[in-house]
Structure 1
Amino acid sequence: MNNTSKICAAGFLLVRADIPKKTPAGQLFVYELHRDVFQSEFEPLHKFYGRVYNDPMVFKCNKERFPDLPRWLRFTQRDPYENGFLYGTPLPQDQGINTIEIFVINKRSYDTFKERLVINVGPAEKQMPYQAEFFIERREIEKVLPADVQEEIRLDIQNLWGTGRLEFVNITSALDRGGRVPLPLPGYFEGVYVKLGSDRPFSKCMLRLETAEHQRECESGGKISGDCSTCTNPINCITWCRSALFDLSKPTPPAPIPTVGSGVLAWGGEFSPPESPPDRDFFPDYIVTIIVPLALVLILCLILAYIMCCRREGVVKRNAKTPDLQLYHHHTIQDNASELRRMAGGDRRTVDRPRQCLQPLLMAEQAMAES
C-alpha cells in the first residue's frame, strides 16, 4: 500500500456515522466509551507500521446544543487511562431522541475527536412492580457498570429472589446519596446502590427486610439473623441492613380531596393589641459593659507604669554593681571608636597621630593588680 492510499484510509476513519442506541423508559442504560477504539482514530497510520500507543484520554459529553447532559443521564471516568461510561435511567417523561456529543481529547498529542451518540428513549417494555435496592459496600461505580460485572450481581440477586426475570432499574454511587468520599487507600470504597426490578413477587427471605425484628437488629448493630444473601464474588456481597424493598403493585391511595368552605373567615373577636413592655433599668448593663472593662484597663495601665518606671535599675546603681575594670574597658572602647570615626572622616595630614590605646589599659590593669 502506497502513501496516498494510507492517507485516504486515514481520512475515511475520521468520518464516522452517528451511533444509534435504543433504550426503554424505566430501565438502566449504560454505554461504555472504549479508549482503544478512539486510539485507532487518533493514530490511524501507525497500525501500518506496527506502532501501538496507550495514550491518556479524557471524554467530555454534553447534549447537542446544550452545555450539559440530560437530567436522567450521567457520565463518569475515574482516570484518563480508564474507559468512560454514560449511564442513567430515563423516566416516561424523558421519551424521545437525545443526541449526545462526545469529545475525546488525547492528553499526549492534544488531538480531539468527536462523535455523536443518538439515544432513542421509548416507552416501557416491561412492567416491574416489584423492585429491590441493594447496597454493595466494596464496589465503585466504574467497576459495576461493565456488562460482565452486572451479570455477576444479577446472578447473585437471582438466587436470592428465586427468579431469573430480573432487570436493572438503576445504579447509583453512594456519593450521590450523601455518602462521604473514601480515603485514597486500599480497602476503602465509595459504595454502590443497585436497584433491580421484576414482575415476580419478593421471596420469603427478602420479605424479612420489612419485619420489625430486622429493623431492631440493624439499629442495635449486632449480628443480622435474617441475612440469607449469597455472593460468588466477595466484593459483590450486599449489605443487608442497607437494602430496601419497593412494592409498586399496590395502588397508591389518592390524596384526600380538600373540602371547599364558604370563603368567609370565622369571627375571631376583636383585636386586642399587647400592652407596652415594662420599663427597664439599663444602669446595671452599663456598669457591666462599660465601667468594669474601663476599671480593668486602668488597673493594668497602673501595673505596667509601675513596672516600667518604678522598677528600673538606673545608670548609677548599675555602675555601682559593675566592676571598675569592666567599666574602664567599656569607656575605652567608646573613646577608641570615636577616635577612629574622627580619623576616618578627616584629612590624614591634619589629623593627630593615634594614641597608644593599649598602654593606658595595661597600666590600669597593672595598678589594679598591685592594689
Structure 2
Amino acid sequence: MAETLFWTPLLVVLLAGLGDTEAQQTTLHPLVGRVFVHTLDHETFLSLPEHVAVPPAVHITYHAHLQGHPDLPRWLRYTQRSPHHPGFLYGSATPEDRGLQVIEVTAYNRDSFDTTRQRLVLEIGDPEGPLLPYQAEFLVRSHDAEEVLPSTPASRFLSALGGLWEPGELQLLNVTSALDRGGRVPLPIEGRKEGVYIKVGSASPFSTCLKMVASPDSHARCAQGQPPLLSCYDTLAPHFRVDWCNVTLAEERPGYLRHPDGPPLHHPREHRGAAADGGQPRGAPATLHPAHVQCAHR
C-alpha cells in the first residue's frame, strides 16, 4: 500500500508529460550490411530526469512507420516483449536503402491513452574499413530476438564465437527472429524460447571447425537425427544454445554469392532488383509476419 501511495503523485506528473506534443527529432546513422539497433525506452518518451526510474505501473507501447507509408521499410523490424519492456527497431540496410529515411514513432500510454511522438532521421551510408566477405548465420534456440539486441549480450556472443573462428575482427551483420523465418510461437512453458538467427561477418576465412559443421556430411547426419560434425569445443555453451544443424556459411563478393562448398551463385539483387527475391520495391513498406506481430504485442 505504501509503495502505491509513493508512485501515485509521480504517475500524475508522468501522464501529464506524455501529452500529444510536437514530435522530437533524432538523427541516426545506420550502415549498409551492418546490424542497426535503436532502443525505444520509456525514459526517453517520458522525458524523465536521469536519476528518476520509470515506475513499474507505466505501460507504454509503440507504433513506428516510414514517413508517408503505413509500415516500416522492408529492412527494418520492430519488437517489444510487453508494455513493461522497451521496444526495439532493428535490421540490416541493403545497398538499395542508401540515403535518407524518416521513421515516425508514436508512444501510447496504455492507462491514460496519452501519446507522444518522435521522428528518427536515418542517414544510411556505407561502412568503412575492410570488407567482410566471410559470413555465417547461426540459429540460437536459447534466446529471443530482443534478448540479443542490447549491446552486452551481442558482444558476449561475438566474443564466444571468436573461439571457433580464425583470428580477426567479427562484426554483427543482422539479427532475425525465428518467427520471421516461419517459426512458431512456443508453448507457454518456462524456458521455451522463440529462437533467433544471428549473422556474423569477418575478413578472415572460415575455420576448419565451421566448415565441417556446415558440410554436406554434417547436414546428412542431421537429416538422419544424428548429431552434426563438430571438431572443436563449443565455446558458446552454455550461455548460447546454438542449433549446429542450422549453420549457414557463405562467401559474399560484389556481384555474386558463393557458398564454401559450391560454385559461385549470382546474387539476385545485383541484376534482377529486390522484387526478384520476393522483396518489395525500394521505399515500399514492409509487412510483419503474423507470428511476429503476436510476439510484439502480446
Same-fold call, TM > 0.5? Answer: yes
CA contact (8 A) 1:39 1:53 kept: no
Q: Distance in 1 between matches of 2:192 and 2:264?
A: 40
In structure 2, what is the equivalent of residue 222 of structure 1?
226
In structure 2, what is the equivalent of residue 22 of structure 1?
29
What stretches of structure 1 move > 6 A for 4+ residues in a row?
none
CA contact (8 A) 2:107 2:115 kept: yes
**For residues 154-197 of structure 1, what are the alpha-carbon distances to aligned partners after superposition, in whole Å with 9 as ceiling and x for unaligned?**
11111111334111111111111111221111121111110101
Q: Distance in 1 between matches of 2:88 and 2:219?
A: 36
CA contact (8 A) 1:96 1:121 kept: yes
Comparing both structures, which one devotes a greater share of its residues to helix? 1
Q: Distance in 2 between matches of 1:234 and 1:83?
A: 26
| Pair 1:209–1:117, CA change in 2 (3 A) | same
Q: Are 1:239 and 2:243 an aligned pair? A: yes
Q: CA deviation at 1:87?
A: 0.4
In structure 2, what is the equivalent of residue 53 of structure 1?
55
Code of the aligned partner of 2:180: D
SS of the equivalent of 2:194 reads: coil
Q: Which structure 2 residues correspond to residues 2-17 of structure 1 after superposition, within 5 A?
A: 17=24
Aligned-CA RMSD value: 2.8
In structure 2, what is the equivalent of residue 278 of structure 1?
none
CA contact (8 A) 2:142 2:195 kept: yes
Q: CA deviation at 1:136?
A: 0.4
SS of the equivalent of 2:249 reads: strand
Q: Distance in 2 between matches of 1:222 and 1:200?
A: 30
SS of the equivalent of 2:190 reads: coil
The answer to which structure, 1 or 2, has the higher relative contact order (CA under 8 A, 6+ apart) is 2
Q: Distance in 1 between matches of 2:138 and 2:45?
A: 35
Q: Distance in 2 between matches of 1:164 and 1:80?
A: 40
Aligned length: 240
Code of the aligned partner of 1:195: K
SS of the equivalent of 1:188 reads: coil
1:211 pairs, out of 200, 212, 215, with 215
1:132 pairs, out of 136, 139, 142, with 136
Code of the aligned partner of 2:118: E
Q: Distance in 1 between matches of 2:235 and 2:113?
A: 43
2:43 pairs, out of 32, 36, 41, with 36
CA contact (8 A) 1:73 1:90 kept: yes
| Pair 1:51–1:71, CA change in 2 (3 A) | closer
Q: Are 1:94 and 2:101 an aligned pair? A: no
Code of the aligned partner of 1:88: G
CA contact (8 A) 2:132 2:202 kept: yes
In structure 2, what is the equivalent of residue 195 of structure 1?
199
| Pair 1:162–1:219, CA change in 2 (3 A) | same
Q: Which structure 2 residues correspond to residues 1-371 of structure 1 after superposition, within 5 A?
A: 17-40=24-47, 53-54=55-56, 55-125=58-128, 126-226=130-230, 228=232, 230-231=234-235, 234-249=238-253, 252=264
CA contact (8 A) 1:77 1:84 kept: yes
CA contact (8 A) 1:229 1:238 kept: no
CA contact (8 A) 1:170 1:195 kept: yes
Q: Distance in 1 between matches of 2:266 and 2:147?
A: 41
| Pair 1:253–1:168, CA change in 2 (3 A) | closer
CA contact (8 A) 2:32 2:94 kept: yes
| Pair 1:227–1:39, CA change in 2 (3 A) | farther
Mean CA deviation greater in 225-234 or 101-110: 225-234
SS of the equivalent of 1:226 reads: coil
CA contact (8 A) 1:230 1:237 kept: no
| Pair 1:25–1:113, CA change in 2 (3 A) | same
Q: CA deviation at 1:36?
A: 2.5
| Pair 1:209–1:53, CA change in 2 (3 A) | closer
- Quote the sequence identity (%): 36
SS of the equivalent of 1:230 reads: coil
SS of the equivalent of 1:217 reads: helix
Q: CA deviation at 1:15?
A: 6.6
**For residues 307-365 of structure 1, what are the alpha-carbon distances to aligned partners after superposition, in whole Å with 9 as ceiling and x for unaligned?**
xxxxxxxxxxxxxxxxxxxxxxxxxxxxxxxxxxxxxxxxxxxxxxxxxxxxxxxxxxx
SS of the equivalent of 2:101 reads: strand
**For residues 202-257 of structure 1, what are the alpha-carbon distances to aligned partners after superposition, in whole Å with 9 as ceiling and x for unaligned?**
111111034333122212212334253534562412111111100224584679xx
Q: Distance in 1 between matches of 2:54 and 2:194?
A: 34
TM-score (norm 2): 0.73
SS of the equivalent of 1:161 reads: coil
Q: Distance in 2 between matches of 1:161 and 1:185?
A: 34
Instruction: Give 5+ residue unaligned stretches, structure 1.
Output: 1-5, 256-371
SS of the equivalent of 2:175 reads: strand
Code of the aligned partner of 2:100: I
Q: CA deviation at 1:127?
A: 1.5
TM-score (norm 1): 0.59
Instruction: Give 5+ residue unaligned stretches, structure 2.
Output: 1-12, 268-298
Between structure 1 and structure 2, the one with the greater Rg is 1
Q: Distance in 2 between matches of 1:254 and 1:214?
A: 25
SS of the equivalent of 2:107 reads: strand
Q: Distance in 2 between matches of 1:52 and 1:157?
A: 35
Code of the aligned partner of 2:45: F
